[in-house]
Structures are given as structure tokens and as C-alpha cells.
């Protein structure tokens, strides 16, 4: 799944879309690890949270897009690069993709990513705010996946 759409910030939210009464963070935590991340277009830096960096197999919380991309299944590289390129050139856009992180030891961790870019106008740098969701299940060829802490 690879999707990108131009976002109309002035469009009204759907009724009840921000109503948190029906959200269940405990249920989300039971089935996944979810962490936010940010990207800065002017520096090209992506900043992850500690668990996301660890689940990506990275040694630090800051990296570039290519370092992040190297963690993902090769067959998805072109699509993910295209998503990030479009997100960085549209003034505002929303995107999502799913892929698999392939660790050096052969373990495979499914990953869902959603985000929104903003502020890139007239050559002025913008940013991306996103969330990584790491499901807590094993794929048929994987070992241990994201665990609760």
C-alpha cells in the first residue's frame, strides 16, 4: 500500500473525527508499538524516537532518508522514495505506506507509516510529521517482533 494525497488544510474535519471517546490506546498498545517521527526538508534529517530507531536497526535517533530506506524491503524502495519526493514537493500532503524492515539477522518486522508534510513553499524548507506503527505479530518468515516494554 502506497498512497499520497494533497491535503487541503482549510477543509473542515469530519464530524467527530477528533472525538477521543471512542479511541482505545490500550488496544492499540496491545497490538502494536506506535511512535511519532519528524523530518526537516531543509537539513534532510529524519528524527525518530528511541524504540523506532532500535526497531529499524539504527544506532541513533537521527538519520537521513537513505539510511532509513536501507532498512526496508528492497522491492519497496522505489515506491517509498516516490512517496517522500512527492511529500517534499507538494505544499501540503498526506501519505501512508507499509513495508517490512529486514534486520541483519534475517528477522522481518512489518511496518505501517503515515504522515503529513507542510510548509514547503517557494523553495522554503518544510517538514514532515509522521507515525510509525509496528504490529506485534510474526510474519511467516520472521522471528520475534516488536514487544511491549
**57-109: per-residue pLDDT in tens?**
999 999 999 999 999 999 999 999 999 988 888 778 889 999 999 988 888 99
Q: Helix/strand/coil (H, E, C) string of 79-144?
A: HHHHHHHHHHHCCEEEEEEEEEEECCCCCEEEEEEEEEEECCECCECCEEEEEEEEECCCCCCCCC
Is residue 65 within 8 A of residue 84, CB to CB? The reply is: yes
Claim: this prediction has a pTM higher than 0.75: yes
pLDDT higher than 60, residue 8: no
Is residue 47 within 8 A of residue 64, CB to CB? The reply is: no
Residues in the chain: 149
Is residue 72 within 8 A of residue 101, CB to CB? The reply is: yes
pLDDT of residue 87: 85
Q: What percent of the chain has pLDDT over 90?
A: 48
With bands split at pLDDT 50, 70 and 90, how would you rate the model's confidence at 10?
Answer: very low
Cα separation, 131 vs 56, in Å, equals: 14
| 124, β-bridge pairs | 121
Is residue 2 within 8 A of residue 97, CB to CB? The reply is: yes
pLDDT tens sequence across 24-38 = 777 777 888 999 999
Is residue 119 within 8 A of residue 127, CB to CB? The reply is: yes
Give me the mean pLDDT over the 28-57 stretch. 92
Q: What percent of the chain has pLDDT over 70?
A: 72
With bands split at pLDDT 50, 70 and 90, how would you rate the model's confidence at 1?
Answer: low
pLDDT of residue 120: 62
Cα separation, 77 vs 117, in Å, equals: 19
Strand 127-135 and strand 108-118: the pairing is antiparallel
Give me the mean pLDDT over the 44-69 stretch. 95
Amino acid at each position: 500500500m502506497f498512497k499520497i494525497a494533497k491535503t487541503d488544510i482549510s477543509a473542515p474535519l469530519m464530524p467527530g473525527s477528533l472525538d477521543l471517546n471512542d479511541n482505545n490506546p490500550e488496544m492499540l498498545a496491545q497490538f502494536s508499538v506506535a511512535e511519532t517521527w519528524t523530518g526537516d526538508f531543509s537539513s534532510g534529517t529524519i528524527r525518530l524516537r528511541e524504540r523506532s530507531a532500535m526497531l529499524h536497526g539504527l544506532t541513533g535517533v537521527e538519520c537521513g532518508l537513505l539510511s532509513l530506506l536501507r532498512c526496508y524491503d528492497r522491492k519497496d524502495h522505489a515506491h517509498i522514495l516516490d512517496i517522500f519526493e512527492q511529500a517534499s514537493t507538494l505544499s501540503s500532503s498526506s501519505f501512508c505506506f507499509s513495508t517490512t524492515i529486514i534486520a541483519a539477522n534475517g528477522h522481518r518486522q512489518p511496518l505501517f507509516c503515515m504522515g503529513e508534510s507542510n510548509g514547503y513553499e517557494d523553495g522554503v524548507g518544510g517538514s514532515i510529521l509522521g507515525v510509525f506503527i509496528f504490529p506485534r505479530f510474526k510474519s511467516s518468515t520472521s522471528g520475534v517482533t516488536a514487544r511491549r516494554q
